[in-house]
Amino acid sequence: MFFCLQIVLAFALLSVVSWAQFHPSEPAKYQRLPSLRDQARILDEWKDERVARIPQLLERYGVDAWLMSQREHAEDPIWWSIKNATDFAAHRRTVVLFLANPLPQQTNPVVWVDNTGKVWGELLDILEASDPQKIVLNVDHNIAFSGGLHVGEFEVLQAELGSKWKERFVNQPMIGIEYVATRVRSQLEYYRMLQETTWAMIAEAFSEAVIKPEITTTENHPRVSVVTPESFPGWQGTQDVIQEGDILHVDYGITAMGMNTDVQHMAYVLRAGETDAPQGLKDGIRKANRMQDIILSEMRAGRSGNAVLQGSLAQMKVEGLEGQIYCHPIGDYGHAPGAVMGSPAGFTNLPVNVPVLGDLPLLPETYYSIELYAYSFVPERNETLRFRLEENAYWVDEERGWEFVYGRQEMLHLVGKTPPSLLLQN
């Protein structure tokens, strides 16, 4: 009885708290972004603020320099996060050197765009003058954002700089991870606009304005699926003609202003005479919402992704919830660098412990996709379904941790009800 009471209280509390904390007060609207010229200015301001933190980042990890070398069409992943907004590629050979303690009057970073070999003499002069003892190269074996130095460029660096500097090359994967993952506060306003636009697009797609039962199909790129007990299409959607009574799912995001969203929502296609979804489907969404609450309560800066995952699974067991968690960082990339909680999205074969990426610490000032599914029995259909949700969260502060950027889905989109309702169901 006490256990049942715990569950009832948990869902009751969710009903009271979620409206104010998690749910937008109005339906999502498409947001107009600044002009491309203004976007470039804003992006460069963000880049300058992020780059200015690098000397402190190097000092925190006990290194003196960070050296990158790349060629056009073979850029290091880091390059896309340090370039100017109007740069579209690393021209010729682009070499970038950051120093923890630059010499007086020296730019930091020093950037060369070169196709003559002149860069190597100038780079050697700076190294001799500043004498860094540890020079980070992006050569990590396990993490893409810390292993982006191509083999050819690595061999050129060794040949051109010689054995003295080769012996000072080190691998410190957290430099690249933390640089790319860390957000600046002024990004949040625009990221919230992207998130609302993502919601608005899904709401329009999952409405009678678009979907005509027995005519409209799920066959398209953004992974739209008809949900069945067997369906878990992963990277693919399904190829179904949508019918009344179908449950729909989409995994979708947009890219703009150097940022990415990643959202999963579900919808129900009303049958003739219906005005609402069956209660069993509402209960499934609420279970997935409860899983979201548990994950956010377990997320703390400095804690490993695996620790968050295992703490969440333990609480789910206490509350009798079944499902799977596969959260990931998001930001400059849809799947950004940093700690994952559960097997990386799309590969759910490591549900309890993820080597390497799961052992990384959660970093403050980062964004996360809270991605999961809850199993729930739907008595009206006599079947158990996966209720798959995903929303993006941002770091608030040490006390509050992460909260949703725009909100979260707390009810099914209803196809056949005008306007598409996004209000919390009781």
Last residue of a domain, which of 128, 152, 180? 180
Query: Span 306-327, mean pLDDT?
Result: 96
For the record, the structure tokens of 395 come out as 């770091």
Displacement of CA 391 from its chain's centroid (Å)? 9
Summarize pLDDT for 38-78 with one digit per residue, the tens. Answer: 999 999 999 999 999 999 999 999 999 999 999 999 999 99
**Model pLDDT, residue 59:** 98
Q: Quick one: 68 and 121 in the same domain?
A: yes
Is the model's pLDDT at 210 over the cut of 90? yes
Same domain membership, residue 166 and residue 107 = yes
pLDDT of 101 > 80? The answer is yes
The number of distinct structural domains making up the chain is: 2
Distance CA 17, CA 9 (A): 12
Are 211 and 302 members of one domain?
A: yes
Tokens of 180: 């790319």
Distance CA 328, CA 325 (A): 10
CATH of the domain at 83: 3.40.350
| Domain closes at, from 180, 206, 224 | 180
pLDDT per position as a tens digit, 369-380: 999 999 999 999
Point out the domain boundary residue: 180, 211, 239.
Answer: 180
- Amino acid present at 401: G
- Does residue 131 fall inside a structural domain? yes
Answer yes or no: do 213 and 131 share one domain.
no
CA pair distance 20, 35, nearest whole angstrom:
33
Q: Quick check: is 313 in a domain? A: yes
Q: What's the pLDDT band for 425 if we cut at 50, 70, 90? A: very low
pLDDT for the residue numbered 105? 85
Q: What pLDDT is attached to residue 8?
A: 32
pLDDT band of residue 236 (cuts 50, 70, 90) is low
Helix axes 2-22, 279-298, angle to 10 degrees: 80
Q: Which helix (H) or strand (E) holds 65?
A: strand 65-71
Judge whether residue 5 has pLDDT over 60.
no
Q: CA angle, corner 330, sides to 237 and 27, nearest 5?
A: 70
| Structural domain contains residue 49 | no
Domain membership flag for residue 101: yes
- One domain, residues 237 and 322: yes
- 75 found inside a domain: yes
Rounded CA separation 273/241 (Å): 21
Per-residue pLDDT at 237:
72
- Phi, then psi, of 98 in degrees rounded to 5: -105, 140
Q: Are residues 22 and 80 in the same domain?
A: no
Percentage of the chain beyond pLDDT 90 is 83
359 found inside a domain: yes
Closest Cα partner for 113 from 158, 156, 68?
Answer: 68
CB 287 within 8 A of CB 374: yes
Confidence band for 353, pLDDT divided at 50, 70 and 90: confident
Based on the domain organization, do 28 and 124 belong to the same domain? no
Q: Which domain holds residue 211?
A: 13-33+183-415
pLDDT digits (tens, 9 = 90+) for 68-91: 999 999 999 999 999 999 998 888
Confidence of residue 344 (pLDDT cuts 50, 70, 90): low
Q: pLDDT digit string (tens) for 240-293? A: 999 999 999 999 999 999 999 999 999 999 999 999 999 999 999 999 999 999
Q: Are residues 350 and 238 in the same domain?
A: yes
| Whether residue 233 has pLDDT greater than 70 | no
pLDDT exceeds 50 at position 4: no
Bridge pairing between strands 65-71 and 93-99: antiparallel
Cα distance between residue 343 and residue 366, in whole Å:
19
Contacts of 20 (CB under 8 A, 6+ apart): none
CB 253 within 8 A of CB 260: yes
- Are 250 and 123 in a shared domain? no
Cα distance between residue 96 and residue 66, in whole Å: 8
**Per-residue confidence (pLDDT) for residue 420, from 0 to 100:** 44
The yes-or-no verdict on residue 345 having pLDDT over 70 is no
Same domain, 131 and 188: no
Q: Average pLDDT in the 164-183 region?
A: 98
Give the three-class secondary structure for 226. Answer: strand
Query: What pLDDT sits at residue 249?
Result: 95
CATH of the domain at 367: 3.90.230.10
Does the pLDDT value for residue 106 go beyond 70? yes
Please tell me the distance from the alpha carbon of residue 62 to that of residue 55, in angstroms, as a whole number: 11
* pLDDT at residue 6 tops 60: no
What is the overall mean pLDDT for the chain?
Answer: 90
Q: How far apart are CA 378 and CA 280, in angstroms?
A: 5
Q: How confident is the model at residue 165 (pLDDT cuts 50, 70, 90)?
A: very high
Tell me, yes or no, whether 365 lies in a domain: yes
**Residue 119 in domain:** yes
Give the DSSP per-residue string, 371-416.
EEEEEEEETTTTEEEEEEEEEEEEEEETTTEEEESS----S-EEET
**The two three-digit tokens of residue 270, written as one number:** 């009303």
Please tell me whether residues 227 and 249 are part of one structural domain.
Answer: yes
Query: Which pLDDT belongs to residue 231?
Result: 75
Distance CA 162, CA 186 (A): 43
User: Same structural domain for residues 81 and 130?
Assistant: yes
Q: From residue 195, how far is each of 174, 222, 408 by CA, in Å?
A: 28, 16, 10
Query: What confidence category does residue 418 fall into, taking pLDDT thresholds of 50, 70 and 90?
Result: low
